[in-house]
Structure 1
């Protein structure tokens, strides 16, 4: 007698395994591998949803098994290939498979299911595929739907020439829309969080049924159940937006590598700027480096002082100010700043201690009315008192995008100023002379490209303490430079040192090579895996005492909101065993506060990605 092995939808670590359930005669014709079911749990007083992963003989024939209560629809939503991927990524990161399935499979919509008849799939036979890097070209081109990046046209060409199904993953909604423009005329499904639950479920079933063979989307698209997978493309894999913020915190890059190993096909990492992680793969011969390098726009460094008062307040040197004025006669100019809002922080006038929100502890910002504001929870406190010295006078520190736009409006009174940040979203701006002030990652596209791109606050960005400071600056500035028009220029203001010279001369591979060499000397990621474990001191001591964790460098403990934290720097050959041992410790303990976040580079820096 066959039984159903079910993974229940529960975050409890002890339930992260397949449970045997008997199949009653009334349901034998309805239970399918990959289908949703409702099953009793514990003494049978509680019922919970789950997925049928396998059908087979019972694990222990002597046990009396509980029966499946009901079948939740006829659709086998979890394919064997998806289950293998989900199990692999959750094991690698010490998490629960149900947490990954919650990200991968949309919630059920009964009315949508009635339109589909989908048979269960078989496990694929992986065919050997290549792992390559693609250096995306710079510039902007026009399509019938509007302007897009030249680099995305390259990606679209790869999609059209692929044999089999295709999955393309991009960091955010801007990239998704621009890639959609580049794919004009090519049928594809857009996989993101937009739309109603029913619409998202319909998109999932379109792909599952085989009606759609090309999927483009953000993070969760890496799990799209595309049949006969022939190509996976990860765009700008160094972008932190591709790192899943929900447990078990799987990065798209790692999921893509695992999926290719399980299903075959080609894997392409396409990006405008190199990353340290990918450079390590090149060194190990694990991923083939790009066969050619893109041509970059003209770049220069401006470090002179400004004679114009308004330009000086906007942090623009005289040479950059003249270049901007000249470029405005031909078209729009992009100005990238580091922070949103009017002023990034509110500090005590006496001791310069930053003020934090009393409700959510986020650093307070200033606005143009001269008052304080929390950008996270909206709190507007009055009567602030310094926690350090008791002072009641406040000052604004730093300059945000809104204040920069105000000052540039005074410096260029006859020019339109457009603000683009998290609160003022623009995918595209018209090709008219204008100053487009944006935060990093919020750069609108313009037909033909920008006549000049000015990077301000670069000195402050490079002075940020953090493991990824230089790599982040390379990505932020390089992504902006991709929007430059032919004959235009990229100007980096108020930046000196070796990094600035290497960036301006296009020695970008040397930047990441130096960064990788420095991290290798320190034993920091990506040379090692950072296993970040939080819990009480006794719990952390029990983790450190595990045989699988011996011989690793351990940083901490350091106090955090939920207790204390240690960082285990594990080499790759033994990291999987260490993660499994920590997971087993969590499962064996009836009540524990231990949490594991693998590959969490956030502990090495405090960079705000908003």
Structure 2
């Protein structure tokens, strides 16, 4: 007989192990960038699963915060007290997958930032009606359309297919051509190559993520993908979509159906059940640089995700960025080129060779003759440096830059016949006088798309003129005579390719004070040259030397190699990692002290800025991880220290000013 039976008192029930949820807050505060433990109430146990959105109480002032459950554990480690319970489960859909969480955590740690800042890029805002409709469809059962047989990778032979099947890492040189799809649409050959690689991945039962710089590239790649895959196997995720469409596309990515996920820089964070391919086209484009904290470049996020998932990685482009070249020389990725070399016919000309007609048209005489001969057979592309009419003016007497008398901004002319005005504040420059020589006349320094179209329209009477820039979005042109004036990156695709391509303002583009301007110019010119029809002349004006020779001989990897050698000698990125530390002088000094003794670390500055000071750190890659951890600690300490309120503002706490940014583009300028 048991003791309980003898006494008539039931023995105590065994202690129930409480179920604990570890939650990451949706908050930009650095001191909250870690997991918090909460007790899961019994009424929420069915829905409180890893990845779901939840609300949780905060100890201060009874507030409630939003977040995501990262994991479920039996009990909190090292804590014997009573945990606060979850407040609610916002949605039962697990929108945060373990793979995306691991990626966000690793990428944030590498950049000395917060994981929640990356999760805001990875997970769109919830759309309740869209989510409920999607949930009903999932209950009914949704199966993807059958996938056609895997296409061949045209032009690369079996080697590339074998590398992708083995989930290798590739720096892919694409053919500079335009091709016609079965639907009649003309796209760059690069789009067909990536579409074929993605279709092979989906045929093998895996998901492919394809990232491109902007909507023009996305439209081309979508058209190419539609040739090989049914529409429900292609999911577009980009910022141009309405919120409802973007959230629906995100929810579709959560399913187990193999698909192609196509988007811009944030696509690298898309959930994928079985990731088999991660490809980035033109990784040197600055649009891949994230402008929001923690400023993780899409290429860096892709490299981290490839390591975590084991998927194939492809960095494709007409040129090779210096960052990709570094990976090639380290042996981390393998360079692959087409079996048959196809290169544009590039002609180099200096600006000194002018005749009277060419002076009127603002192009050298040889380039003008090439355009005149080509215009009879098809469209001619003219690439210029700036949009607008005349964005920069100068004094006609002393050539000093013309500045606004109100705000000192640059003066420009917005359209033909308009008065000079400030490009910043819009003030009309009536009665302008040069402060240097007291001259009163202005001259054009740069000519934008509008002025160029006006000049070329006079030089080629009767020929239609099409302008494509940020204000006028033109994606395609027909195969008939026309002058297409486009800014860099805004060149439309011509049916059959352009009969000639004129690359103007090369010297103006190279005059920008930026460390990457050489590789940027080569990328702009190469992408434009790739739109020419076979044998069509591509004329580069005003540029000579190694850069022009690399374009003419189509040896962009060799130029990237030379650039990398120079960067190594000078300890410039990407040969080393660099970070900027900005804020008030005391905070910057404290943060710099944390990393001063790391092996190989060098510190430049601090130098004054508009709102404090800035110091620049240069670090070897082997020490960058430790530096990021130490600098993140400095940011947290700075955010949590007590700050005195300014006089007369009782209760006001000035916000922390310390900011750390790894791989800051401004460092290179």
How far apart are 1:542 and its partner, in Å? 1.3
1:513-532 correspondence to structure 2 within 5 Å: 513-532=561-580
Do structure 1's residue 326 and structure 2's residue 364 form an aligned pair?
Answer: no
How far apart are 1:486 and its partner, in Å? 1.4
Do structure 1's residue 403 and structure 2's residue 441 form an aligned pair?
Answer: no
Do structure 1's residue 37 and structure 2's residue 54 form an aligned pair?
Answer: yes
**Could you say which residue in structure 2 is the equivalent of 1:161?**
200
Do structure 1's residue 134 and structure 2's residue 172 form an aligned pair?
Answer: yes
Deviates more, 1:323-332 or 1:36-45: 36-45
Q: Specify the SS of the correspondent of 2:456.
A: helix
Q: Distance in 2 between matches of 1:358 and 1:259?
A: 50
Give the direction of change, closer, same or farther, for the CA distance of 1:542–1:512 in structure 2 (3 Å limit): same
Give the direction of change, closer, same or farther, for the CA distance of 1:97–1:486 in structure 2 (3 Å limit): same
Residue of structure 1 aligned with 2:358, choices 311, 314, 322:
311
Residue of structure 1 aligned with 2:45, choices 4, 8, 28:
28
Q: Distance in 2 between matches of 1:387 and 1:598?
A: 41
Do structure 1's residue 287 and structure 2's residue 333 form an aligned pair?
Answer: yes
Deviates more, 1:40-49 or 1:29-38: 40-49
Please say if residues 175 and 338 of structure 2, whose CA atoms lie closer than 8 Å, have aligned partners that are also in contact. no
Q: Distance in 2 between matches of 1:202 and 1:549?
A: 49
Please say if residues 37 and 68 of structure 1, whose CA atoms lie closer than 8 Å, have aligned partners that are also in contact. yes
1:237-386 correspondence to structure 2 within 5 Å: 237-292=283-338, 294-303=341-350, 305=352, 308-309=355-356, 311-347=358-394, 352-355=400-403, 363-367=410-414, 368-373=416-421, 379-383=426-430
Give the direction of change, closer, same or farther, for the CA distance of 1:25–1:128 in structure 2 (3 Å limit): farther
**Could you say which residue in structure 1 is the equivalent of 2:512?**
464
Do structure 1's residue 512 and structure 2's residue 560 form an aligned pair?
Answer: yes
Deviates more, 1:520-529 or 1:147-156: 147-156
1:215-226 correspondence to structure 2 within 5 Å: 215-226=261-272
**Could you say which residue in structure 2 is the equivalent of 1:568?**
617
Q: Specify the SS of the correspondent of 1:138.
A: coil
**Could you say which residue in structure 1 is the equivalent of 2:161?**
none
**Could you say which residue in structure 2 is the equivalent of 1:152?**
191
Please say if residues 434 and 440 of structure 2, whose CA atoms lie closer than 8 Å, have aligned partners that are also in contact. no
How far apart are 1:506 and its partner, in Å? 2.1
**Could you say which residue in structure 1 is the equivalent of 2:90?**
72
Larger of the two Rg values belongs to structure: 2
Please say if residues 596 and 603 of structure 2, whose CA atoms lie closer than 8 Å, have aligned partners that are also in contact. no
How far apart are 1:116 and its partner, in Å? 3.4
Q: Distance in 2 between matches of 1:548 and 1:522?
A: 20
Residue of structure 1 aligned with 2:500, choices 452, 459, 480:
452
- For these two proteins, the number of residue pairs brought into alignment is 596
How far apart are 1:383 and its partner, in Å? 4.5
Q: Distance in 1 between matches of 2:130 and 2:80?
A: 41
How far apart are 1:137 and its partner, in Å? 0.7
Q: Distance in 1 between matches of 2:513 and 2:283?
A: 23
Q: Specify the SS of the correspondent of 1:54.
A: strand
Q: Distance in 1 between matches of 2:668 and 2:310?
A: 35
Q: Specify the SS of the correspondent of 2:493.
A: coil
**Could you say which residue in structure 2 is the equivalent of 1:555?**
604
Task: Structure 1: give runs of 5+ residues left out of the alignment.
Answer: 120-126, 606-610
Residue of structure 1 aligned with 2:658, choices 583, 594, 610:
594
Residue of structure 2 aligned with 1:428, choices 476, 483, 495:
476
Please say if residues 548 and 578 of structure 1, whose CA atoms lie closer than 8 Å, have aligned partners that are also in contact. no
**Could you say which residue in structure 1 is the equivalent of 2:13?**
none
Q: Specify the SS of the correspondent of 1:50.
A: strand
Please say if residues 540 and 566 of structure 1, whose CA atoms lie closer than 8 Å, have aligned partners that are also in contact. yes
Deviation string 1:513-539 (CA, Å, 9 cap, x unpaired) is: 111111110000001011011112222
Give the direction of change, closer, same or farther, for the CA distance of 1:449–1:18 in structure 2 (3 Å limit): same
**Could you say which residue in structure 1 is the equivalent of 2:590?**
542
Q: Specify the SS of the correspondent of 2:197.
A: helix
How far apart are 1:78 and its partner, in Å? 0.1
Q: Distance in 1 between matches of 2:351 and 2:308?
A: 55
Q: Specify the SS of the correspondent of 2:175.
A: coil
How far apart are 1:59 and its partner, in Å? 3.1
**Could you say which residue in structure 2 is the equivalent of 1:122?**
none
**Could you say which residue in structure 2 is the equivalent of 1:10?**
27
Q: Specify the SS of the correspondent of 1:329.
A: coil
Deviates more, 1:540-549 or 1:103-112: 540-549
Q: Specify the SS of the correspondent of 1:461.
A: helix
**Could you say which residue in structure 1 is the equivalent of 2:214?**
172
After superposition, the CA RMSD in angstroms is: 2.3
With the length of structure 2 as denominator, give the TM-score of the two structures.
Answer: 0.85
Give the direction of change, closer, same or farther, for the CA distance of 1:58–1:515 in structure 2 (3 Å limit): same
Q: Specify the SS of the correspondent of 2:523.
A: helix
